[in-house]
Amino acid sequence: MAKYQELADAIIRGDNIKSKEVTQDLVDKKIPAGDILGEGLIAGMDVVGKKFKANEMYIPEVLIAARAMHAAMDILKPLLAETGAPTKGIAVIGTVQGDLHDIGKNLVSMMLEGAGFTVVDAGVDVPSEKFVEAAKENKADIVGLSALLTTTMTSMKEIIVALRKDPATKDIKVIIGGAPLTQEYADSIGADGFAPDASSAVDISEELLKK
Tell me the H-state helices in the chain: 2-13, 16-28, 33-36, 43-53, 59-83, 103-114, 128-137, 150-165, 183-189, 198-210
CATH number for position 158: 3.40.50.280
CATH number for position 55: 1.10.1240.10
Q: What is the DSSP letter of 54?
A: T
Whole-prediction pTM value?
0.82
**Claim to verify: residue 64 and residue 38 sit in the same structural domain:** yes
Which residue, 31, 63, 83, sits at the end of a domain? 83
Q: How many CB atoms lie within 10 A of CB 161?
A: 12
Q: How many CB atoms lie within 10 A of CB 157?
A: 17
Beta bridge partners of 96: 126
**Claim to verify: residue 9 and residue 51 sit in the same structural domain:** yes
Quote the crossing angle between the two packed helices 103-114 and 59-83, to the nearest 10°. 50
pLDDT of residue 151: 93
pLDDT tens track for 134-174: 999 999 999 999 999 999 999 999 999 999 999 999 999 99
> Which residues span the domain enclosing 131?
90-210
**Claim to verify: residue 51 and residue 94 sit in the same structural domain:** no
